[in-house]
Structure 1
């Protein structure tokens, strides 16, 4: 695999306008903005910008949370987000002239609406998303922090925090959360239904159970259970900022299992990870699976995780990235895209060009004798199938081209256009080998291999003496294609003929 090929499958992003609306409507962001506007007359704050007890009560009332026992905590959280994102700005109080310390709960400054607040109403969608991304990073840091109750229990007598005592490593926690979000991102990209929920046990197992472990040990299951409960806490923190949609673990279930001293895992889950660390989350057999937690990235979450990956230097493509690139870049990337996203990418690329210009660019980029060329030509053929008949002239220009004449005839025939010259047998066989080479290169899944096996069998049944002609085809991949046909053909006699033909082709190429 070349170094410049995508390291992640592409994702389909919502428009910036849609994402900005989602950001503004995220509960935590909406509360922070409401508090920032409420601060117009000035709000006394403590040394770190925290809201003081008396204004906290008024702020909680302003948010309509006075009747919620957790209302003050939600309000303080929203206020802190407003401070961290610049929705409010702090003007420090002048130093006390006699140098005495401020009394407890005394104001160390005054908060008023910040410049960023105006961008939420008058700025561009990107301005709003930039503010939201800054707040999201703060929330991620909070999610990776240790439980406050644990901190209170583990404080030393001298009032100093011993991180070793609470078994918390900030870097490891941040990396684990990044890995979990990365797995969710990958599942979203690979799934035909991006809105499909992932069971929490499956997600936890995808980070902990080794790929080569057929049956997890009790110790590993215990580790998965502990990770699952940690994720439950983290996703509860991340949901209000709009990063994930989360159905938490049932509190009653946690109490039941904790009393019995059992791990918090459903019986008989199908969890683990596939090749390359790809997480697998098959449906669990338990009808009440939702009690164990369900999570998915929101469209805003997909945008955010991708932004973080790009900042980290990861190649994380999105549909539409190639619309302003040349046809050579498009055809090099399309073979690695899932079919629906490949078509969406092609449609956006074509929309920026006239049919005639697009067809000429695609045909020129499809030429070549390198290993990737067959896949580029297959991508060109699939993209050209979306091009309007106005491109007819470009296709007729390559009818005599050995590499492009076959696909040009297919395009013209599909549109029932007149005057299509009959292809020579040499062109037919060359196109057959080229098409098989492209499909062999992309047939990684069992289902694709089964379809290819049927194609190989059909070809040999339709053309008597197929292998006797095929080994003479002047195509760089002829020998490789014939060898693959020998492996795939279900008939032993035909498979043997394919292997013989492959030997002849290889000998011919070496002469």
Structure 2
């Protein structure tokens, strides 16, 4: 899972380890693996790769309560057994060989040699370990399932068998590394879409949206037929892979409608949903809370900065303001609330104000988040807030807070402070959200309240003065005012050494 495309991701909300461990134990495939591990014993016979002997699969399926008449039951039992072996829930003894290298433990009709399998030591962790132990076992199971999901289905493998009994990979058009990378990319995009929605994995993502996020060029308008074909192909691959990932508890998945699948077979690529057509027919996928945890763990191992809400609660105010600087407003608010919850309000406010100082590039956004945090403080913080009234960097936000809390005797700010605060406010908005549709309205409001605004603002000693004026020259809705802003930006650039 690559860390290159998204070096820092929006934060996600994780359930507690105890809740996640319960979810892991309830995941159908993991639960079956645990049951088969308890079923294993000295009479259990396995092949060289640890797979159950064919004649034992019906017994394993029956133990799992699977319908013996269902042709998929043996495959489901075999998959659960593989997970039990791969996670260490089962210990396998390989077939013994005699001095000539021949197997000595053969089954009936020369089917051997066979090894044996017994419950592994890690099985005790399922009931006797900590939640983290259970999650470690589940993650090992997840890796096994992800490896299986990147393998073509059996029918494709059969079709690709050559005359010598081997697999013709050219005919199969399957590259193991490429398929694993495709699945990793899909999960990374699903995680990013989930995080962008608030990081709670509450809403399912339409499969066409996920597929398009992977293959469609950024900023593309009407998709071409070639792009639609790529999206359709990606959807079909994802449909097959997510079907395999749902039983391990990674995703909740609604497959592509069978009628649409038939349309692909007959007519070619799927088009986009039209009008009021039910988009869910095209497939819907949602990372479960357990899946959100699992994919985040894999991203952290890959070196991706994938924060979780609450991680900053025990850190200082400087780490908090820097950390939430790039968060969406809603998640920044949630992180700040957790940070404030266990602190004495006046002391917390003093720490926040100290961390908000600075004339570096990140200063405006730190002060914006500081103001967001101060909104949580009550009257007991007033003396601390008043103590910074005379500071150029903090005096403006202190006056805003005092006014909002109905404080008396709030001194009017000096004109220099007003213009400095204006630059700082716009710089913070640019850093937080970029050039949004709301920003021109903010600019219009700020300039309308000050006669000769640009004659004063270009002289403001703020590191972002030039950048703010250039943005106003591009974005201000009044052409005449925008032209004034561009002139002011030129003056501000000229006065810099």
* The two structures share one fold, judged by TM-score above 0.5: yes
Q: Distance in 1 between matches of 2:452 and 2:231?
A: 58
Q: 1:6 to 1:412 in 2, by over 3 A?
A: farther
- 1:107 to partner: Cα distance: 6.4
Structure 1 segments of 4 or more deviating over 6 A?
none
Q: 1:424 to 1:31 in 2, by over 3 A?
A: same
- Give the corresponding residue for 1:59: 60
Q: Distance in 1 between matches of 2:230 and 2:446?
A: 52
How many matched pairs? 487
Q: Which moved more, 1:44-53 or 1:117-126?
A: 44-53
| Match status 1:299 vs 2:289 | yes
- Give the corresponding residue for 1:25: 26
- 1:166 to partner: Cα distance: 1.3
> Out of 173, 176, 180, which is 2:179 matched to?
173
- 1:236 to partner: Cα distance: 0.8
- Give the corresponding residue for 2:244: 237
| Match status 1:341 vs 2:331 | yes
TM-score (normalised: structure 2):
0.90
- 1:138 to partner: Cα distance: 0.6
| Match status 1:201 vs 2:204 | no
| Match status 1:79 vs 2:86 | no
Q: Which moved more, 1:330-339 or 1:91-100?
A: 91-100
- Give the corresponding residue for 1:431: 421
Indicate conservation of the 8 Å contact 1:239/1:246, yes or no: yes
- 1:303 to partner: Cα distance: 1.4
Segments of structure 1 that go 5 or more residues without pairing to the other structure are 270-283
Q: 1:403 to 1:74 in 2, by over 3 A?
A: same
- Give the corresponding residue for 1:50: 51
- 1:489 to partner: Cα distance: 2.4
- 1:32 to partner: Cα distance: 0.9
- 1:428 to partner: Cα distance: 2.4
- 1:60 to partner: Cα distance: 1.1
> Out of 190, 193, 198, which is 1:187 matched to?
193
TM-score (normalised: structure 1):
0.88
Q: 1:396 to 1:89 in 2, by over 3 A?
A: same
Q: Distance in 1 between matches of 2:483 and 2:314?
A: 48
| Match status 1:329 vs 2:319 | yes
Q: Which moved more, 1:55-64 or 1:197-206?
A: 197-206
> Out of 110, 115, 129, which is 1:123 matched to?
129
- Give the corresponding residue for 2:341: 351
Q: 1:94 to 1:497 in 2, by over 3 A?
A: closer
| Match status 1:249 vs 2:256 | yes
Q: Distance in 1 between matches of 2:75 and 2:298?
A: 28
> Out of 280, 295, 308, which is 1:290 matched to?
280
- 1:343 to partner: Cα distance: 0.7
Indicate conservation of the 8 Å contact 1:201/1:224, yes or no: yes
| Match status 1:470 vs 2:457 | yes
Segments of structure 2 that go 5 or more residues without pairing to the other structure are none
- Give the corresponding residue for 2:270: 265
- Give the corresponding residue for 1:34: 35
Q: Distance in 2 between matches of 1:154 and 1:264?
A: 23
Q: Distance in 2 between matches of 1:211 and 1:361?
A: 41
Q: 1:40 to 1:478 in 2, by over 3 A?
A: same
Q: 1:106 to 1:286 in 2, by over 3 A?
A: farther
- 1:291 to partner: Cα distance: 2.3
- 1:417 to partner: Cα distance: 3.4
Note the aligned Cα RMSD (angstroms): 2.5
Q: Which moved more, 1:164-173 or 1:428-437?
A: 428-437
Q: 1:414 to 1:263 in 2, by over 3 A?
A: same
Q: Secondary structure of the residue that 1:475 maps to in structure 2?
A: coil
Q: Which moved more, 1:65-74 or 1:19-28?
A: 65-74
- 1:145 to partner: Cα distance: 0.9
- 1:308 to partner: Cα distance: 1.1
- 1:456 to partner: Cα distance: 1.6
Q: Distance in 2 between matches of 1:234 and 1:423?
A: 62
